[in-house]
Amino acid sequence: MKRPLLSLGFSCCALAALSAHGAVAEDLPARKAGLWEMKVVKTGASSIPDVTMQHCTDETIDRDMTNSASPVAKDNCSKQDIHKTSTGYVGDSVCAFGGTSIAMHTEVVGDLNSTYTVLINSHSDKGPSGKPLDTTTKIEAKWLGACKPDQKPGDIVMPGGFKINVKGVDKLKGLLKSN
């Protein structure tokens, strides 16, 4: 069964800086249920600021996020490989969105129960300026405990208190397909 790295970062970060994690091949485990703090740091020629968010999740949400993203990856990615390593997972993908080709190398390190780090090195053949763009995105995630009483699985709370639920990712998927 193929599973994109989306379940580890993309859905959460798709809302923050989402570099479409397109690597698949290995059946990835779900993260521990509860509230995760995720800090996204992006470097390179990017105007996207660092962001820290909180994501309330459970096994069903992690699996649903992956399943809803699979058609996008399947339709837009010519390469999607991920392999288990002694410290986590390593993946490589090549995807096209809106006429732009994006090659990514992703490393996931950690236990998905208390902490994990996702490092994504990407190369886009056409950035916002029309020139090639290389970026590095680092996602540092730590488990904080149970979700807050006003949260339900799938809720992502962004800086400033903006909240969205990942079940709306189907809308994002529709936007990506229309480009």
Q: Please check whether residue 22 lies inside any domain of the structure.
A: yes
For residue range 133-172, what is the model confidence (pLDDT) as tens digits? 888 899 999 999 999 999 999 999 988 888 888 876 555 5
Tokens of 146: 């149970």
pLDDT interval class at 121 (50, 70, 90): very high
Instruction: For residues 34 and 36, give the distance between their C-alpha atoms in angstroms, rounded to a whole number.
Output: 7
What average pLDDT does this structure show over 59-88?
77
Q: Please check whether residue 177 lies inside any domain of the structure.
A: no
Cβ count near 171 (within 10 Å): 9
Phi-psi category of 53—alpha, beta or left, where left has phi over 0 and alpha has psi -120 to 50?
Answer: beta
Q: Please check whether residue 34 lies inside any domain of the structure.
A: yes
Could you give the angle at the alpha carbon of 169 between the alpha carbons of 131 and 10, nearest 5°?
Answer: 55
What average pLDDT does this structure show over 25-41?
83
The rounded mean pLDDT for the chain is: 77
Is residue 4 scored above 60 in pLDDT?
A: no
Count structural domains, the chain.
1
Give the three-state DSSP class for 48: coil
Could you please report the per-residue DSSP string of 112-128? SSSEEEEEEEEEESS-T
Is residue 17 scored above 80 in pLDDT?
A: no
Instruction: For residues 21 and 12, give the distance between their C-alpha atoms in angstroms, rounded to a whole number.
Output: 11
For residue 36, how far is the Cα from the chain centroid?
A: 14
Q: Which domain holds residue 76?
A: 5-170
Residues pairing with 49 in the sheet: none
Q: Please check whether residue 176 lies inside any domain of the structure.
A: no
Q: Determine if the pTM surpasses 0.95.
A: no
